[in-house]
Amino acid sequence: MDRSTNNMYFIITAQPKYHGYIHAGRICHIAESRYTLELSKESLTKLPVICMGSYTDTKLDVSDMDHVSAEEAGLLLALEDDSERLKWFRERETLRTALSLTTNTPVTVDEGKQKLRGIIRFIGRLSEPKYLDPLSGVFFGIELQGPDKGKGHTDGTFRSRTFFRCKKDCGIFAPFSRVRPVVPSSLTSSAHQPTLQAQTDKLSIGDRVTYFVDEKCSHGTVVDLNGNNEHQMVRISTVSNHLPYVFFFSLDIMRPIPHTLKSIQNFSVCFHSEISFHSETEKMDVDTPVVEPDANYGGLGVNSMVEVDFAAGKSYGTIRWIGYLPGRDEITAGVELEDNSGVSDGTFKGVRFFNCPPGRAIFLKLLTCHPDSRFQSESTNHREKTPKNEFSFFVCFSGFMGYILFTVIYTEEVSQVLIGRMKGIQGHCNSCYMDAALFSLFSCSSVLDSILFKSTKPQDAPIQKTLLRDIVNPLRSKGFVEGRHIMKLRQQLEKHGYSHSFTTDEKDPEEFLIVIMHHILALEPLLKLSAGGKVQESYCYQIFLDQNHNLVLPTVQQLLEHSFHSAGLKLAEVPSCLILQMPRFGKKFKMFDKIIPSLELDITDLLSEGSPQQCMMCGDLAHEECTDCFKDPIFSQTGFKLFCKKCSFQVHSNPQRQSHRPTILEIPEGFFEHGTPHVLARDKLELFAVLCIETSHYVSFIKYGPKSQDWIFFDSMADRQGERDGFNIPEVQACPEVGMYLEMSPAELANQVPRDMKGVAKRLFCDAYMYLYQSSSMCLYR
C-alpha cells in the first residue's frame, strides 16, 4: 500500500523553538484528515506533525513551516543534509524544473567538478521508506552519453537491484539538485560544448519521438523513413497549427536551418547517422509472417474504432488494415482518420494497402493505437460478455510457425475469462501435476514467457509450439485448454525420451518443469546460490531444516531464512522467478501442520556478500553479521542479524552474547564515492502461485490481484462427466476467504481447525507443496 497518499507535507524553514534536535530543512507530514480537523479550530498557530524518521508527532509553529507537495517532498528527501535540503527548496525554479523532467530527457549531471551529458532513464525511489515514513527520496538514473561514457559508477544497478540498463560505469544515480535539462541552444555549434549524441535506437514507423523546433521541445510520430546508411530522412506527423519545418543537421555545424512548407502538416528531419531519436516501443524479432485479414490483437482488429495521440491532441479513426509493411518487422495498423491529419490515401511507398480519401491515411505501430475512448463504455460492456479473440496471424519463431503470445489475464478480466466450470486446464490420466504447474506459471504471470520464444533445437521446436499455440494462448484468450493438448505435450516429451511414462504416470511438478526449462528450452537457471565462494545453479530450491529448529507455525519467509542459515547459502543475484519446495517427507508426510504464505519475500539479507545491507536495529548501513544471534529469541523471528558497528557493540555487550563471533560484511568498493546516495533498498519478491497436494492430487492457488481477497483456486479434475468413456471437468473458483485467514494473527491461525476452515483455504495452509515468487523488476530483463 502506498503510504504517501492522504498526507500533507511540510518543510521546516526556521529552527523550531524548544526543539533543538529538529533542524530547519527537515521534512514532516500530517494526515489530511487530522489537518482538516486542526483547521477547524478557532486559531491555528501550531500543527502536530511527524518528522521523517520519527514515530511520534511534535507540535511546531505554523510560521516555521512551508507546505510542499508529495512530489516535491520526494525530490527533497533525496538530499541527506537538512541545510542542503532547505537551500534547494528555496531554489524554487530548480525544484519546479525537476518536477517537469521525464524519462528520455537529455540532461547534464554535476559529478565532482564536471558537467556530464546524459539521458534520464529512471526516476523514482531506490529504496522503500524507512520506519513508518510514508515517503523516501526520489532519484534520477542517468545514462551518460558521447565522450562522457565511462565516467559514471553503475550499470543501472543499485544494491543488486536493476533500475535501468546501460554499460558498465555509464550510469549515475543523482538527486535533482545535480540534474539540469539540456537547453535547446546546446544543439548549436560551440567550441566549448560537445554535441549531445542521443541513444541510437533504430527508428521505425509509428515511433513517438521528441525534437526541437525554434528552441522549443515538440513531439510527433514517425510516419515515413527514407535515406541510406549515411543519412536518413525522417518524416514526422505533428498535426500542429504551426507551419512545418525541414531541418538539415550538419555534423560540423549542427545548426537547424528552417524551411517553410505550405501544403502538409508534417515535417522531415535529415540527420547524420550518429544522431537519432529515442524509440519508446521495443520491437519483436520476427521473420516473414503472413497476416490473415481478420487478425485481431488485444481487442483491436480491422474496422476497430481507435484513437491516436499526436502532438496537438488526439485523432480518431478506423483501422482498415493490419499487417507488416515492406522492410518493417513490427505489426503495423493502417488507420483511416476522421480528419485530414493523415499523410496518404492508403498507399505506402507507392503500394496500396487500403482505400480512403487523400490525407486521411496514416500507418502506425499497432501498439500505439488505443480503443476509441468516446465509446469506451460500450466496448467495456461488450468485453465483459466476450472473451479475448485469438490473434490468428502467424509469425516465424525459431524455425516454426506459431501464434503471437497473448498477454496474461489481468485482474479485472479474471471473473469473465477464468472463473467457472470447464475453465482452466482439463485434466486427463494423472496429468494434474502438469495442469497445476502450467496454470500457475502462465495464467496470470508472464515471468517465464521468454521460454515460449527463445531459440531452441529443431527437434524441440514442436514442444515449444505446443506450449505457446495449444496451451498458453487458449488459456489466456478463452480461459480453457482441452485435455487433448496436454496429452499431446506429454506424448511429445515421452517421444523425446525424457521419460517413458509421461503419458501414464503421475510425476512431480519439479521434474516436469526441469525437463521443460533445462532439457527442452535450455533456459538459463533461475536460481544462483553462493556457498563458500562458489556459485551453484538450479531451477528450484528445496527447503531443508536442521533438527534444532524451533519453528511451529512458520511463514515461508522464516523457512527460507532458516534453510539458508543452516546450509550457509546466499543468493548470488536477485532471481526473476523463485520456485520453493516446502519441507516434506515425500508427498504424504508433512513437516508442519500449517505453513503461513508470505505474500512478499524479503530477500535483502539473503543476498551474497558485496551487497550493502541494513542494520536491523537502526536502519543504517550494516558492517557486521552475527550467525549466533540468528536464533536468539530476543530478536525478530525473521531476517538475518545484521548490525552497524555501534549497534553490534551494544548487542554483544550483553554477557549472554559476549561469546558470539560476528563476521565483517564486505562493503562494495566505491560505495561512499561519487556522491552515491546512502539509501538502502529492500529487494522483495511477490507471491503469484502455490501448488498444493493432498492424497496424490495436485491443485493450485493463484494470487491474481493486489487486494487481500484476490485469490482463485484451480482443480483440473474437480468433477467428471460419465465413467470410463467420460471426461474430467476442470474448475476455477474464487476463494476470497484466503485473504481473511492471512489477516489473522499467528495465534488465531494456530487455533483454526483445518476441517472447519471456510471454502478451500485449508488446502492452501495445510497442503502447500511449492511456492512460486517473481521479481516485478528482474522479470523484465530475463
Q: Which residues are catalytic?
A: 432, 697
Helix (H) / strand (E) element for 728: namely strand 727-734
Kindly report the number of other CB atoms within 10 A of residue 599's CB atom: 18
d(CA 309, CA 313): 6
d(CA 758, CA 762): 7
The answer to whether the beta carbons of residues 436 and 699 sit under 8 Å apart is: yes
Sorted by sequence, the CB contacts under 8 Å of residue 725 that are 6+ apart come out as none
d(CA 344, CA 360): 6
The answer to whether the beta carbons of residues 195 and 146 sit under 8 Å apart is: yes
* Residue whose entry in the numeric block shows the C-alpha cell 541513444: 199
Of 50, 21, 18, 20, which is closest to residue 34 (Cα–Cα)?
A: 50
| Grid coordinates of 114 | 564536471
Q: Give the C-alpha distances (Å, rounded to integers) separating 691 from 370, 550, 608.
A: 37, 25, 28
| Grid coordinates of 441 | 506459471
d(CA 239, CA 649): 67
**Secondary structure E strands in 145-275:** 157-158, 161-162, 171-174, 179-181, 208-213, 216-227, 231-237, 246-248, 266-272
Of 770, 759, 602, which is closest to residue 690 (Cα–Cα)?
A: 770
Strands 589-590 and 577-581: unpaired
Helix (H) / strand (E) element for 89: namely helix 82-90
The answer to whether the beta carbons of residues 434 and 489 sit under 8 Å apart is: yes
* Residue whose entry in the numeric block shows the C-alpha cell 502461485: 689
3-class DSSP assignment, residue 9: strand
d(CA 532, CA 320): 62
Number of H helices, E strands in the chain: 16, 47
d(CA 464, CA 754): 40
Of 293, 765, 314, 325, which is closest to residue 556 (Cα–Cα)?
A: 765
Torsional sign, CA 429, 434, 440, 445: negative
